[in-house]
């Protein structure tokens, strides 16, 4: 049997010693808003999920493992799930090449491609789906972490502590300058929201945290799976995903630095140094000697013919 590490998949382990029975978000507050965030029931356990299309629900891949029926509860109504589609490459690793090794050693393991969709048997009326974020936020950007367990929806504010190709980190562990808002059992798959173009959009879905070993006043750590770098896969699973500009998800790639998108870590000395920004121009380059060449062609064309 696999040994349970302190860093836990949020649908799979309960936090000992916290006296919580699935209450959403450690160090959060009751959240009366975000109507598109609801409860997902099914194997392997309860999760939080987000309506991102009339009949499309976004959540974590590890919430969709196992067999059996499942449902999504939102707006006071239960909606049966017709089909679940976890990302086929979901798994766990002990390090991410984008993160400094010293910081990775503090965490122990990471979840990769932990994203999936559940297709509902019918559309959800009267609730506007949340749109997906497309842009890469800066380290230190404000976010709202939302979770729902046992019918209690809570939220808390934090900051982006590090971001890479497929992940976003928040919290205070390793010197990150976030808050001690912490996801835990039942919050898996829920959204972290960021303001983009004047509205809240889904930046990531909750994958892991250190809630099992967290003690009040200690350092918190939350890992999300980044949504924008999974847009192509999400588009292939559903054609009714909410798109920020078109209303549907179209063929738009997330904003990226084509010269390399290394993780950026907001941490104290010894936990890693932020990667330097890099990039390259993708615009048309001027042809060397282009103007003299053009002038020569024009002069030859104007020469009197004998």
Q: Which CATH number do you get for residue 23? A: 2.40.10.10
Determine the Cα–Cα distance for residues 144 and 129; give it in Å rounded to an integer: 17
Question: Taking Cα atoms as reference points, which of 123, 120, 48 lies closest to residue 84?
Answer: 120
Is residue 24, in this structure, part of any structural domain at all?
Answer: yes
pLDDT the model gives residue 150 = 76
Reported as a single tens digit per residue, the pLDDT across 9-19 is 655 443 322 22
pLDDT at 264: 61
How many Cβ atoms are within 10 Å of 2's Cβ, its own excluded? 4
pLDDT band for position 187 (50/70/90)?
very high
Please report, to the nearest 10 degrees, the dihedral formed by the alpha carbons of residues 14, 18, 21, 27 taken in order: -100
Report the pLDDT value the prediction gives residue 202, as an integer from 0 to 100. Answer: 98
The pLDDT tens digits for 126-169 are 999 999 999 999 999 999 999 997 788 999 999 999 999 999 99
**Residue-range definition of the domain harbouring residue 234:** 8-243
User: In this structure, is residue 149 part of a structural domain?
Assistant: yes
Domain count, the chain: 1
In a domain, residue 299? The reply is: no
Nearest-angstrom CA–CA distance, 48 and 57: 10
Mean pLDDT of 286-298: 38
In a domain, 292, yes or no: no
In this model, does residue 75 exceed pLDDT 80? Answer: yes
* Structural domain contains residue 305: no
Q: Average pLDDT of 66-87?
A: 94
- Please provide the average confidence, as pLDDT, over all residues in the chain: 78
pLDDT of 90-116, one tens digit each?
999 999 888 988 888 888 899 999 999
Q: Which residues of 49-88 are buried (b: 16+ CB within 10 A; e: fewer)?
A: bbbbbbbbbbbbbbbbbeeeebbbebeeeebebeebbbbe
């Amino acid at each position: 049997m696999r040994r349970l590490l302190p860093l836990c998949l949020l649908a799979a382990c309960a936090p000992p010693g916290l006296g919580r029975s699935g209450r959403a978000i450690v160090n959060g507050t009751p959240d009366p808003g975000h109507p598109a965030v609801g409860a997902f029931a099914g194997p392997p356990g309860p999760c939080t999920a987000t309506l991102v299309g009339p009949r499309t629900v976004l959540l974590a891949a590890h919430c969709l493992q196992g067999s059996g029926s499942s449902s999504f509860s939102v707006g006071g109504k239960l909606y049966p799930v017709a089909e679940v589609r976890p990302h086929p490459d979901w798994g766990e690793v002990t390090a991410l090449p984008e993160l400094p090794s010293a910081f990775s050693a503090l965490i122990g393991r990471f979840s990769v491609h932990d994203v999936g969709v559940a297709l509902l048997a019918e559309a959800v009326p009267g609730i506007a789906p949340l749109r997906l974020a497309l842009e890469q936020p800066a380290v230190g950007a404000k976010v709202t972490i939302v979770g729902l367990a046992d019918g209690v929806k809570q939220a808390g504010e934090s900051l982006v502590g590090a971001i890479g190709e497929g992940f976003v980190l928040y919290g205070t562990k390793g010197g990150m300058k976030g808050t001690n808002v912490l996801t835990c059992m039942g919050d898996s798959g829920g959204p972290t929201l960021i303001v983009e173009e004047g509205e809240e959009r889904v930046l990531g879905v909750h994958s892991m945290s250190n809630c099992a070993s967290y003690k009040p006043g200690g350092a918190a750590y939350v890992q999300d799976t980044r949504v924008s770098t999974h847009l192509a896969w999400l588009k292939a699973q559903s054609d009714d995903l909410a798109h920020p500009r078109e209303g549907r998800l179209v063929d738009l790639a997330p904003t990226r630095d084509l010269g390399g998108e290394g993780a950026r870590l907001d941490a104290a000395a010894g936990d890693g140094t932020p990667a330097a920004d890099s990039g390259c121009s993708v615009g048309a380059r001027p042809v060397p000697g282009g103007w003299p060449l053009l002038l020569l062609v024009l002069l030859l064309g104007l020469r009197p013919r004998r």
